[in-house]
Amino acid sequence: MNITVCVKRVPDTETRIRITDDGKDISGDGVKYVLSPYDEFAVEAALQLAEQAGAGEVTLLSYGDAATTESLRAGLALGAHGAVLLTGNPSMDGWATARVLASALKDSEAGLVLFGIKAVDDDQQQVGPMVAELLKRPCATSVTAIDIADGVATCRRSVEGGQEVVEIDLPAVATVTKGRYEPRYASLRGIMMAKRKPLTEKAAPVVEAGLSVEALCYPPQRPEGRIVGEGPEAVPALVRLLREEARVL
């Protein structure tokens, strides 16, 4: 069974965000970009499932600008077999992104399409299930472990208060979160081999936007806090402040 993993290139979480002068975007200057951390879990899940099956290829799919090839090569170095880049500029509109990705997945033979639970830039947590609807495939979200047998993927889901187990009939879609899958590191051999793996680029289809980002701004600074005191002796003063000043107790 072949598996496709949708991956997004995002600013590294340590990066300081600088808003551009027009106030509508962030400046890419000096920003280090990485594969979104949750997408790494999805890639690892795909690689492990393919290794267990001893058959099938893992393909990475991304919608992004030309620089995204760098992130895709990094994914290929981990062991994915090939990658497809739909070149364009994804916006915050997850529905637009979902339609772009679905256009490339429509005729795909992939038995499983994996996503990260969320991309850590826009943090919308929506593209995976939207693509599933477009492909008319069942979708399990927030998945921590996948086991495949007899055309069914049994998924453990991290939900409020515990773990839910759901079965989805293949072909299916899942969004992956932290759990069973610890992302591997690329080996030197993997990095060398990645250079020769197929990476196809084509222009993303143009889709109509349903959202418009009017402005970006920095969050309000938190007011200067205060150190109430040192050690357990400070507890009574803290409790008093929480009750009388902050009114939260």
Ligand X SMILES: Nc1ncnc2c1ncn2[C@@H]1O[C@H](COP(=O)(O)O)[C@@H](O)[C@H]1O
Kindly state the smallest distance separating residue 8's Cβ from ligand FAD, in Å: 14
Kindly state the smallest distance separating residue 186's Cβ from another protein, in Å: 20
- Interaction of residue 138 with ligand FAD, rule CB under 6 A: no
| Per-residue mark of binding to another protein, 83-112 (x: CB under 8 A) | ---------xxxxx-x--------------
| Contacts of the segment 100-106: beta carbons below 8 A, 24+ positions apart | 100/63, 100/204, 100/205, 100/207, 101/6, 101/61, 101/63, 101/127, 101/131, 102/131, 102/134, 102/135, 103/204, 103/205, 104/61, 105/4, 105/61, 105/131, 105/135, 106/135
- Interaction of residue 126 with ligand X, rule CB under 6 A: yes
Residue appearing with tokens 């994804």: 90
10 Å Cβ neighbour count for 48?
18
| Binds another protein by CB under 8 A, chosen from 132, 146, 148, 199 | 132
- Interaction of residue 177 with ligand X, rule CB under 6 A: no
Kindly state the smallest distance separating residue 9's Cβ from another protein, in Å: 14
Q: Residue 61 or residue 168: which is nearer to ligand X going by CB? A: 61
Select from 130, 141, 137 the least CA-distant residue to 151.
137
| Binds ligand X by CB under 6 A, chosen from 2, 33, 34, 36 | 36
- Interaction of residue 182 with ligand FAD, rule CB under 6 A: no
| Binds another protein by CB under 8 A, chosen from 4, 69, 71, 141 | 141
| Helices 94-105 and 127-135, axial angle in degrees (round to 10) | 40
List interacting residues with ligand FAD (CB under 6 A): 13, 37
